[in-house]
Chains A and B, each alone.
Chain A
């Protein structure tokens, strides 16, 4: 392992290679938690980010689900926004230029109700300056058609990715749902159909009820759980996906601190997306980057690449390193 003899020396290199993409650092913001970027410009220098994954885009504008759309739960929140968005035309005309002018790499999260819609959308975004990749959303738990239906069946997932692959030359990231029995199977299908990368996880299907009104707390009844509560699920899914495929993986789920982000990188994720934490601390990604840099300095690592995927899979009993030294015990 290369070591920096002086922790106060040159700043560690945070840049990462993510398939065909070279990013200045591995910290992105997750789709649906950062609007179209402009919303956060008062709080954060957007150019600090590895990339911005914008709010999911469909061909036509979508109004979203009826309210209530949101409920807070222990260390998390459940949303049923229903993929409200401005549609691809308004996105290209009014939203994308803001990020493009600031030279922020933009990843566009796309979704459709049919294979044809996915393909048409991908074709519309192909070659548009400023867009560095597409993230294929096959995992939203809050919409009745499309959405998670595509993400729970390996054959369907492959067909969506294939349709998009044929329509664009942009790098493709397939966003996986945790709401399946074997996430590795979906991962293999997506990569087999041409996905360059995977991101995992989307929100966890969830529900909340009110004991006083005796009703569901969301008009949609079900929603997607996110926030710190889902991190252990996300870590498990990321680990399983990394075991199943040999392609870059982006970890998502409950990341609110540098420690959280580093846990995903330790498993082998080459980048992370920060989601719900943006709502609470709009500049949380800058704090995560500062913490990540400090960690690398303390660990005397010159680059984040030296740290990624260095998990030692052998779990030792706590304090084992002390116990192992006690050779004089009977």
Chain B
């Protein structure tokens, strides 16, 4: 599928949770071409600082209206600048990029979705596509496990519960819902309620993804994990967004996949998780200098 550049217009920007914004953009070509799980590179500001485009997933895609929605959290200078942009601001998008989620083939069996923090962003479009495509599945058989560090970082309840799906919320600090990591919430709930999903979808911090991947591999459940990495181009030229991958059979050499062109959606089995070094949660404050 071809990629292209598009000038988008900000229609609305609203803070929907702590340091979390929902951006609605008029971007007709992108809305027509994109699918759930893909991403685009956005130039957050003219000029040389910040220099690089930033990758964002499609939170919602409305082809009929020619709009897309972006959900993002302010984590650095790029997203801070973006949060300052008012309606009518023009932004340059490059996309749609990456492979996107595959919808399950066997209609009728339950689906589990694990979202950590801003990782909920691409999963909302996925949920809408699942609801639209699965006539034989009750909405409540779509199980969403949604966690964040604290209550203020979670999207409002009405955004998700109104869809009729089964939503289980948790927070790392216990300020809302389950007290603990969303991966523990998922593991315990799946066990107690005998949820055996046909597919496991996830998006969130790498540390969370590691635990989701481990569960998927232990329980032999096919998984589609939306991963992220620092990238400069988004189109496979810079090779900056490498992640250690399972080597081809018989090989012991280092082997990498690239999030932008091989992903961002990967099966749990395709990544060598033990080789990924992470520093855990991002810092609690940010310096804009």
Contact = CB atoms under 8 A, between A and B. Distances in A.
A19 interface: no
B51 A66 contact: no
Given A39-B235, A84-B239, A67 B255 contact: no
Interface string A206-241: 000010110100010000000110000000000000
Contacts of B236: 35, 39
Contact of A81 (B50, B239, B275): B239
B21 interface: no
A40 B4 CA distance: 10
B254 A43 contact: no
Contacts of A215: 279
Contacts of A67: 229-230, 241-244, 256, 276
A276 B277 CA distance: 27
A39 B53 contact: no
B237 A39 contact: yes
Interface residues of A, number: 39
Interface string A24-60: 0000000011110001101100000000000100000
B256 A63 contact: yes
A81 B52 contact: no
A279 B233 contact: yes
Contacts of A323: none
Given A66-B254, A280-B52, A81 B237 contact: no
Interface in B34-49: 43, 48-49
Interface in B58-110: 94
Given A63-B254, A63-B256, A64-B256, A81 B3 contact: no
Interface string A1-35: 00000000000000000000000000000001111
Nearest to A29: B237
B5 A43 contact: yes
B55 to A, nearest CB: 12
A67 B277 CA distance: 9
Contacts of A213: 279, 283
Contact of A279 (B238, B242, B256): B238
Interface in A270-298: 276, 278-280, 282-283
Instruction: Provide the main secondary structure of the chain A interface.
Output: loop
A81 B3 CA distance: 24
B231 interface: yes
Interface string B237-257: 111111110000000011110
Given A67-B242, A69-B240, A81-B240, A42 B3 contact: yes
A70 B232 contact: yes
A229 B280 CA distance: 31
B158 interface: no
B255 A63 contact: yes
B239 A69 contact: yes
B152 to A, nearest CB: 21
A72 interface: yes
A192 interface: no
A40 B244 CA distance: 25
Contacts of A87: none
A77 B52 contact: yes
A283 B104 CA distance: 38
A69 B282 CA distance: 18
7 contacts: A39-B236, A63-B255, A63-B256, A67-B242, A68-B230, A69-B230, A69-B241
Interface of A: 32-35, 39-40, 42-43, 55, 63-64, 66-72, 74-77, 79, 81, 84, 210, 212-213, 215, 219, 227-228, 256, 276, 278-280, 282-283
Interface of B: 2-5, 43, 48-53, 94, 229-233, 235-244, 253-256, 275-277, 279, 282-283
Given A55-B239, A75-B48, A228-B51, 9 more contacts: A35-B237, A63-B254, A64-B239, A67-B256, A68-B230, A72-B51, A279-B238, A280-B43, A280-B53
